[in-house]
């Protein structure tokens, strides 16, 4: 019997970053409020010639380069940073990666949860078409506003996952717990570029949704806390994942103890990348697989996905026996080390330079040195290019 799951996984972080210690000092705030209080050290920042399309393409290209691209028959693009009300951002990525015309493309939206919905839909598709592959991309820019309470929980990034039968990394298990409720803890109206959030309320909803999704998951699967070797949570900031793990322990009447073994290695990348919305859970999953020194082969990983508004899902996956031979840890490590640290002044200047939304012609400053970049906007159409190569529209 075929298993279905994640065969390959690759993430992309933009080339700029900001130290949260430096931001705290500039804002005359105790740095421990950021580095300890929310558990963050850095946040990644996109250049003006990057957007969710270029980041998604960067995340997916190393995967597409390893397979017969004609076998990818479904591309699901999850984001809450959409660039068009009608056209899916994935169509641009489909073009940039030169995927086959027989590949379906759809964009999904439900705050940070939509990548998990995309993963479940992709798994169902592959179960029906076992000789085909699905590509799931999650790409986002978390943006709250200068000097707001959400400012230190910003970030950006994208992750790509190839979903296949008999995957080499993670097999998704049947059964999950889902909880949906109508709340206004976080949202971004169409006329705004920054999100609106009630931080304390959103934290409460996140944890309440987790509890209901977990209980539903346990009823559906008959699994318990002890059946899971590790946990990965949606991580808008690292302390949130720690709170979630604490809540699960409380739900299961476990004594409060050190949660490092269950959680710590899943937070390494999030701590230095920041919030990347739809990609956040899967950045944690990549972090766990690539940084946990233990051999996780055949281990069960419990995963909690949350999207404000709100939808939560708890599901699990099994680490495959040969998983370490199919990770790209070195590539990720080198990419993160190569980022340039901006001063707070440079960050503020970058933040305050907006892409026009009035239809005017715009040429993006050329900051990216390699890979895909946003070249500009002409006649209401975004123009993309591969650095050093021909214009792609």
Which residues are catalytic, by number?
A: 80, 112, 234
Work out the burial of residue 228: count CB atoms within 10 Å of its CB; fewer than 13 is exposed, 13-18 middle, 19 or more buried. middle
240 in Cβ contact with 304 (< 8 Å): no
Helix (H) and strand (E) counts in the chain: 12, 19
Look at the alpha carbons of 140, 145, 146, 147 in this order and tell me if their dihedral is positive or negative: negative
Q: Which residues pair with 110 in a beta bridge?
A: 112
How far is the first Cα of the chain from the last one, in angstroms, to the nearest whole number? Answer: 43
Q: DSSP assignment, residue 385? A: E
E-strand ranges in the chain read 4-12, 16-19, 42-45, 72-78, 104-108, 133-142, 155-165, 170-172, 177-180, 186-187, 196-197, 230-233, 300-307, 311-319, 340-341, 362-363, 372-378, 381-386, 391-392
Q: Is the dihedral of CA 196, 199, 201, 203 positive or negative?
A: positive
Contact 57, 97 (CB under 8 A): yes
Closest of 44, 34, 37 to residue 275, by C-alpha: 44
Element (H, E) at 335: helix 329-337
* Dihedral sign from CA coordinates of 22, 23, 24, 28: positive
Cα separations in angstroms, 76 against 122, 143, 168: 8, 23, 20
Q: How many CB atoms lie within 10 A of CB 356?
A: 10
C-alpha span between 287 and 301 (Å, rounded): 13
């Amino acid at each position: 019997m075929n298993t279905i799951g994640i065969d390959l996984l690759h993430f992309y972080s933009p080339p700029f970053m900001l130290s949260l210690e430096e931001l705290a000092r500039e804002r005359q705030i105790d740095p421990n409020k950021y580095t300890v209080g929310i558990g963050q050290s850095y946040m990644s920042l996109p250049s003006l010639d990057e957007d969710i399309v270029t980041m998604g393409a960067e995340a997916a290209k190393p995967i597409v380069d390893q397979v017969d691209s004609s076998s990818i028959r479904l591309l699901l693009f999850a984001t809450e940073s959409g660039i068009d009300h009608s056209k899916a951002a994935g169509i641009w990525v489909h073009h940039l990666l030169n995927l086959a015309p027989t590949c379906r493309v759809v964009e999904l939206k439900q705050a940070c949860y939509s990548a998990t919905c995309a993963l479940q839909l992709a798994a169902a598709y592959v179960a029906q078409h076992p000789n085909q592959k699905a590509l799931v991309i999650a790409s986002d820019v978390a943006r709250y506003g200068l000097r707001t309470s959400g400012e230190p929980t910003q970030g950006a990034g994208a992750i790509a996952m190839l979903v296949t039968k008999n995957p080499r990394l993670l097999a998704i298990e049947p059964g999950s717990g889902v909880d949906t409720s109508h709340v206004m803890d976080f949202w971004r109206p169409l006329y705004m570029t920054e999100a609106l959030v009630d931080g304390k309320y959103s934290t409460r909803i996140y944890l309440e949704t987790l509890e209901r999704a977990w209980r539903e998951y346990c009823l559906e699967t008959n699994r318990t806390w002890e059946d899971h070797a590790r946990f990965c949570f949606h991580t808008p900031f690292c302390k949130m994942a720690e709170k979630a793990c604490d809540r699960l322990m409380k739900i299961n009447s476990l004594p409060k103890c050190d949660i490092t073994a269950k959680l710590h290695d899943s937070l390494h990348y999030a701590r230095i990348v920041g919030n990347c919305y739809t990609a956040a859970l899967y950045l944690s999953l990549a972090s766990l697989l690539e940084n946990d020194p233990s051999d996780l082969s055949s281990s069960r990983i419990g995963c909690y996905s949350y999207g404000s508004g709100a939808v939560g899902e708890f599901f699990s996956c099994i680490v495959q026996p040969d998983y370490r031979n199919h990770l790209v840890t070195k590539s990720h490590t080198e990419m993160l080390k190569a980022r340039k640290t901006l001063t707070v002044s440079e960050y503020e200047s970058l933040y305050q330079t907006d892409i026009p939304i009035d239809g005017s012609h715009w040429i993006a400053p050329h900051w990216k040195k390699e890979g895909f970049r946003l070249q500009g906007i002409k006649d209401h159409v975004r123009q993309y290019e591969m650095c050093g190569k021909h214009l792609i529209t």
